[in-house]
Structure 1
Amino acid sequence: MTIIGAAALPVGKWQSAADAAVQVLEHEVLARLVVRAVTEAGVDKSDIQGMTFAQPRPYTAQKYFATFMADYLRLPCSGNVSEVLGNGMTGGFAFEQAANDILLGRSKVSLALGINFETAIPAREHMMSSMRAVGDVDFQAPFGITPIAWYAMDATRYMHEYGSSRDELAAVAVKNRRHAALNPLAQFRTSITLDDVLAQPMIVEPLGLYEVPPRSDGAVCLVLAEEDVAKSLRRPYVKVRSRGFHHEGAHQISEVPNDMIALEAAQAAGRQAFARAGIAPGDLDLAEIYAPCTIVEVLAAEALGLTPRGEGARFAAEGRTSLGGDIPICTSGGLTSRGHPAYVTPLYSFVEVFDQLRGTAGQRQVHGAELALTSAELGNYNAALVHILEGVH
C-alpha cells in the first residue's frame, strides 16, 4: 500500500467567527485540497473508490459530512465513504480505514482526508468539551484535570526520575521551532531561543506557553493507492512497510498503578511495527511523532527506541534529535510549532514523511532519507498507532 499524493492547508487560524459577514466553509476548503492532491497524484477522479474522513469537530455546521462531501465532489464510490473518530488518533484511523479499503481489494485508490476547525470557538466551550472527552466524567473532569495537566505530571516525574532539567525539556521547543521555520505549512515560524521558552508564563508547571500546543485549524488530503498503481505512474512514491497498534485498556490516568512515563502502549506498538518491517529503530532516518508537549516528544521517542530511556531530553538539548543529528524528530516543527489541529494532526505527519521520503522537503530535507516512522496516540499514550514508511524512487 502506498501514498501517491498529498495536499495540506497551512496550519493556523482559519475558522470564521459565528457572526462574521463572510464565512470560511470547511467543505470548500477541503474540496480544493482534494483537487490538488489528486492532480499531484496523477490519477483520474474515476479511479477513486473510497474516502475516509477524520470526523470534523462538533462545531462544524455541516453534519453527515462524509456523504455531503461525496455529493459536493460528485464522487461515487464502491469502496467506502465514512467518518471516523478517535480524538488525537482520528487522522490515523482515517488513514487506516482508507488503507484497509485497498488492502481488502475494495479500492485501488482511496482518500484519507479531514478538516479540523476550532480556533474561533470560545476557549471555555472548547475546554469543557475536551475535558469530557479526555477525562473520566465521574472523577477527572469535575476537578479540571486537563491533558496539559497530565503531561505536566509526566514532566515532573521524568525530571525527578532521571535528574533531567527544565532547560533540557525546553530545548525540544527550540528545536521544533527551528524546524518549523523551514516549513511553509507551520503555524509558528519565528525563531525562538531557550531564554524565550523559559520566560513564557506557565500553563501547568513545569510547562510554559511555548512547551504546549496551540489551538489550530488545518486540513489534509492524502491519496493512497495499490502499489501497482503507484508503479504505473513512474514517479517517486511512499510505501507503507508496516504498522503497529496497542491499547492498554486504560482511559487517560488509570487507577491501576503503572509506570506513568513508560508509555507502554507506544512500546508495544513500536515493537510490532519494527518486527513487521524487519528493521530496528536505528535504521530510521527520521520520525514524525505525535507529541502535544515537549515532555511527550521525549517520552515517546524513548518508548519507540529512538533515544535511550531517560536520555531523550538530553538528546534534544545536545542537538541529536535536530536536523543533521542522530535521529531527526518532528522535522515539520511538531505539534508545538507546526501546530495541532487535533483531529487531522496525524495526517500532517504523513504529509511531512511523504515530502521527506520523496526528497521534496526543501530546506528541512533529511539527506538520503529512506525510512521514517509516524505515530499517533489516544490520551496520555494509553494507545499508540505506529507506521513505518519507505521511499521508492
Structure 2
Amino acid sequence: MTRKAAIIGTAAIPVGRHQTSAADEFQTLEHELLARLVVQAIADARADRRDVGSIVLAQPRPYTRQQYFSTFMASYLKLPCSGIVMEVLGNGLTAALAFDKAVDEVVLGRSQVALALGVNMETAVSARDHMMESMRKTGDVDFHAPAGFTPISWYALDMMRYMHEFGATRADIAMVAVKNRGHAVSNPLAQFRKPITLEEVLAQRPIVEPLGLYEVPPRGDGAACVVVASEDYAKSLGVPYALVRSRAFFHEGAHQINDRPNDMIAFEAAATATRTAYQSGGITAADIDVAELYAPCTIVEVLASEAAGLVPRGRGAKAAAEGETSLGGRIPIATSGGMTSRGHPSYATPLYNVIELADQLRGRAGERQVPNAQLALLMNELGNYNAALVHVLEAQA
C-alpha cells in the first residue's frame, strides 16, 4: 500500500440486550443507534463530517426492520458520498469486511474519510429461529444443516482433537474463559463483567461436550462505528491514531469444514494470512504487543493464537493457564474480554475488536492498557477458520 489508512475515531454501545420485540410499546430502532454512534465517532476523531466520502455497512441480520440499510443510513445521516455507499456480507467476517473495504476506499484515494458501520440485533428472536437461520449460513444445507451440525459442534470436535494430540486438559482450555472475564471486568462495552473462577467454568452445564456454558459465546446485540482516514488527514488532526500497517486474507477453498483430509486444528487459513501480513508489514509474531482474535469459543482462541505464531503449536492452552496471554503476560490476547465475556454480536463483533485495539494503540484502554503497545494483531475468520482476514495495526502519536 502506497497510501496508508488510519483509525481516527470509534464508538460503540455496550454489548447486551437492546433489541425489542414487535409486541413492545416502544421500539429500539437500529438506525437511531447507529446515527448516535456516527456522531460520537466523528467527534472522537475531531473530523469534519463533510469529509466523509464512503459508508460501508456490515449487512444487518434479516431480523433488522429497515432493509437496504446502507443507503437508508446515508439519507438519515444526510451524508452525500462520492466514494461508495454499500453493504457487505460474509458470515463472521461481515464487519471485518466492512472495515477492510473502508480501508480500501482510503488507500485507493476515493475518500479522505470512510465510515465502517455494524449493527447486530438478535436477542428478541427465538432461539429456534436464530439457530435455523445460523445453520443455513454456516453449514452445508445438504449435509450439516439437516444433521443439526452447529458451529459449536465443530469447535467441540476441534477441542477433543486438541486434547488428544497435545495432552491439554479441559481445565487448561477453560482458563481462557477465566482470563477473558478478568479482562472484561474493566471494559465498559462488555456484556459480562463479573469475575469467574475456574471451578465455576468447569461446573457449568455442557453446551456441546466438552464445551460448557461459559466457554461459548452468549447471544447479544451490538452496534459500532469506526472512522478510517488517510494518514495525512490523521496527522492533520494532531491526535494519536492507529495506522493500518499491513493486511492479508486467505480462503482455503472449503466451506466451514474441509471435505478433504487435513489437519483440522492447524487453522491453515489463519496461519497463511498471518504469515503474509507479517511479511508485508516487515515484522514477525514476536513484535506483536497485543491481539484480538475472532474466537467464539475458548478452544478457538487457543488454536488461533497458535496459528498466528503468538504461542508455539500445542502450547496455546498452557500459555493461557500460565498467564502468558493475560494482561501483564508476554502477549496479552483478548484484552476486551473476548467473545465469551465482551460478547459476540456476530455481524458487529469484528468492529468491537478493531475498537479495542485502537484504544490500546491510542493509550485509552484504562485498566486494560498494555504498556507501550505499538503493534497489534487483528484477526477475523469466516467459519471454523476456513478463511481469515488479518490486519496489523501500529500506534502513531
TM range (shorter): over 0.9
In the alignment, which residue of structure 1 is the partner of 2:331? 327
The reply on whether 1:300 has 2:304 as its aligned counterpart is: yes
CA shift digits 1:304-328 (9 cap, x unpaired): 0000000100000000000000100
1:363 to 362, 367, 372: 367
Q: How many residues align?
A: 393
1:63 to 57, 60, 67: 67
Query: Offset of 1:27 from its aligned partner?
Result: 0.3
Which aligned pairs between 1:1-393 and structure 2 lie closer than 5 A? 1-393=5-397
- Report runs of 4+ in structure 1 exceeding 2 Å deviation: none
Which letter maps to 1:251? H
TM-score, normalized by length of structure 2?
A: 0.99
**% identical equivalent positions:** 65
Which letter maps to 1:213? P
TM-score, normalized by length of structure 1?
A: 1.00
Structure 2 stretches of 5 or more lacking a match? Answer: none
Query: Offset of 1:253 from its aligned partner?
Result: 1.4
Query: Offset of 1:96 from its aligned partner?
Result: 1.0
Range with greater deviation from structure 2 (319-328 or 97-106): 97-106
Q: Matches of 1:347 and 1:140 in 2, distance apart?
A: 29
CA shift digits 1:349-384 (9 cap, x unpaired): 110001000111000100111110011001100000
Query: Offset of 1:17 from its aligned partner?
Result: 1.3
Which letter maps to 2:372? G
Which letter maps to 2:140? D
Q: Matches of 2:58 and 2:272 in 1, distance apart?
A: 25
- Secondary structure in structure 2 of the residue aligned to 1:177: helix
CA shift digits 1:243-283 (9 cap, x unpaired): 11000000011221110000000000000100011111111
Which letter maps to 2:151? P
Q: Matches of 2:337 and 2:150 in 1, distance apart?
A: 23
Q: Matches of 1:44 and 1:364 in 2, distance apart?
A: 30
Which letter maps to 1:278? G
Q: Matches of 2:258 and 2:333 in 1, distance apart?
A: 29
- Secondary structure in structure 2 of the residue aligned to 1:343: coil
Query: Offset of 1:154 from its aligned partner?
Result: 0.1
Query: Offset of 1:43 from its aligned partner?
Result: 1.1
- Secondary structure in structure 2 of the residue aligned to 1:301: helix
Q: Matches of 2:353 and 2:218 in 1, distance apart?
A: 17
- Secondary structure in structure 1 of the residue aligned to 2:390: strand
Q: Matches of 1:154 and 1:13 in 2, distance apart?
A: 30
- Secondary structure in structure 1 of the residue aligned to 2:348: helix
Q: Matches of 1:289 and 1:96 in 2, distance apart?
A: 16
- Secondary structure in structure 2 of the residue aligned to 1:316: helix
Q: Matches of 1:248 and 1:274 in 2, distance apart?
A: 19
CA shift digits 1:289-314 (9 cap, x unpaired): 00000000000000000000001000
Structure 1 stretches of 5 or more lacking a match? Answer: none
CA shift digits 1:217-242 (9 cap, x unpaired): 00110000000000000110010000
- Secondary structure in structure 1 of the residue aligned to 2:242: strand
CA shift digits 1:51-83 (9 cap, x unpaired): 000001100010110001111001100000000
Q: Matches of 2:107 and 2:328 in 1, distance apart?
A: 36
Which letter maps to 1:388? V
Q: Matches of 1:337 and 1:197 in 2, distance apart?
A: 12
Query: Offset of 1:84 from its aligned partner?
Result: 0.2
Q: Matches of 2:44 and 2:182 in 1, distance apart?
A: 28
- Secondary structure in structure 2 of the residue aligned to 1:34: helix
CA shift digits 1:157-215 (9 cap, x unpaired): 00000000000010000000000001000000000000000000000000000000001
